[in-house]
Amino acid sequence: MDERPGADFSSVAIVGVGLIGGSLALALKEFGATSRVVGVSSRKTIEEALALGALDEGWEYHDLARALRETKAVFLCTPVSRIIELLPEVANVIAPGTVVSDVGSTKKQIVEQAEKCMPQHSVFIGGHPMAGSERNGIGAADPFLFQNALYVLTPSTSVPENVLASFTERIASIGARVYCLSASAHDRVAAAVSHLPQMLALALVEYVGTQNAIEPAHLQMAAGGFRDMTRIASSPYSVWQDILATNASEIRKALRGFADQLEQVLADIEHMEPHFRAANEIRSSIPRDTKGFLSPLCDVLVRCEDRPGQLARMTAALAREQINIMDIELLKIREGEGGTFRMAFKDIPTADAAIRALDKEGFPARLR
């Protein structure tokens, strides 16, 4: 029986204090998961993070050993290729009992590297918080970035149960919804639901672009559906370079599988009703509140007039009844008339209570 104590977050190191690393530092402090955060990053970033209150202490990368000597948990928040490079260096300087994790978007190569170099007296737990922002850098850091976000952990079978349990508790304490997978399963699923859509968006935009060169009406007619499907095509290559390099095999498999599906669509183009029906059924089962695998929250649609203070009235009505909103989104609005909000609640009874409170305040509401 492993007598090792659980994950100790009394002093946490964040290596790479950008959007994710900075948000993690702020969240851990905001929600009381740690009392001390040490950052390792560039001098300029460290200065910004200290001024923001994200860090209690900061070091540059060449002082990594000094930064980690007294920390109990380490999060590697750099690009995937840099995480793989850093792991041996981190493994050589951490104190016994340290728990090391990462936030990389692919997991198999990172976990394999960790298994090669981590000392027996410490533990590595791979992680992938499925949260982000259109902005980047420490200036965009947000302690609430992980609220209701899926946070995938990829622990190896050698991680003691009590360490994994306490580590999971700490991640959940910042508002994330934790889900455990093997590293291989993570990369296989991510290839299908995240990496494949990116490749398809790129291909679709390139295809329509070539057609537009022949007939310029293509881009003139590119309305809502096309824009919605291709929004992610604007993602910078720098974000995707490491993902493609470290998950190429699974992405190729997903592309080949999708090509087979397209062949079926091509063959059935005049008899597509079964495809529409199947796609509608599958899509309706996707959890709306996270990009993943958990039980969905309960959505309520709320109509309101386009007037100042309406959102404040809605939230105040719910606050009076001690009802917590797990997620909120403005779906539709017509200036001068009004719009529809989507509010998510933890379960049906809470959603029903919210509907009653909103109706009482004069806001028509219904379950989605």
**pLDDT of 333:** 61
Residue 293 lies in a domain: no
pLDDT confidence bin for 293, thresholds 50/70/90: very low
Which domain does 323 fall in, by range? 298-367
Is the model's pLDDT at 226 over the cut of 70? yes
- Total of domains in the chain: 3
Residue 198 lies in a domain: yes
Residues 165 and 230 in one domain: no
**pLDDT of 298:** 86
Residue 211 lies in a domain: yes
The phi and psi torsions of 73 (rounded to 5 degrees) equal -140, 140
Which runs of consecutive H residues, i.e. helices, occur in the chain?
19-30, 43-52, 64-68, 80-93, 108-117, 161-173, 183-190, 196-214, 217-220, 224-230, 237-246, 248-267, 273-284, 310-320, 348-360
Cα separation, 147 vs 36, in Å, equals 21
Residues 318 and 343 in one domain: yes
pLDDT confidence bin for 294, thresholds 50/70/90: very low
Radius of gyration of the chain (CA): 23
Is the model's pLDDT at 123 over the cut of 60? yes
Please state the rounded mean pLDDT for residues 232-244: 92
Residues 173 and 321 in one domain: no
Residue 148 lies in a domain: yes
Instruction: Using a pLDDT cut of 90, give the percent of the chain over it.
Output: 75
Please state the rounded mean pLDDT for residues 280-307: 74
Residues 225 and 265 in one domain: yes
Burial 69-83 (b: 16+ CB within 10 A, else e): eebbbbbbbbbbebb
pLDDT confidence bin for 134, thresholds 50/70/90: low
Cα separation, 112 vs 122, in Å, equals 15
| 48-52, 108-112, 299-303, 321-325: the lowest-pLDDT one | 299-303
Kindly list the distances between the CA atom of residue 307 and the CA atoms of 198, 310, 314, 363, in Å, as whole numbers in the listed order.
38, 6, 12, 13
Question: Between 285 and 260, whose confidence is greater?
Answer: 260
Is the model's pLDDT at 212 over the cut of 70? yes
**Which CATH number belongs to the domain containing residue 17 in this structure?**
3.40.50.720
**pLDDT of 167:** 97
Residues 232 and 257 in one domain: yes
Residue 248 lies in a domain: yes
Tens of pLDDT, residues 253-276: 999 999 999 999 999 999 999 999
pTM over 0.85: no
Residues 24 and 173 in one domain: yes
Tens of pLDDT, residues 22-81: 999 999 999 999 999 999 999 999 999 999 999 999 999 999 999 999 899 999 999 999
Is the model's pLDDT at 292 over the cut of 50? no
Residue 3 lies in a domain: no
Residue 348 lies in a domain: yes
The first and second tokens of residue 59, run together, are: 């070091």
Question: Between 201 and 1, whose confidence is greater?
Answer: 201
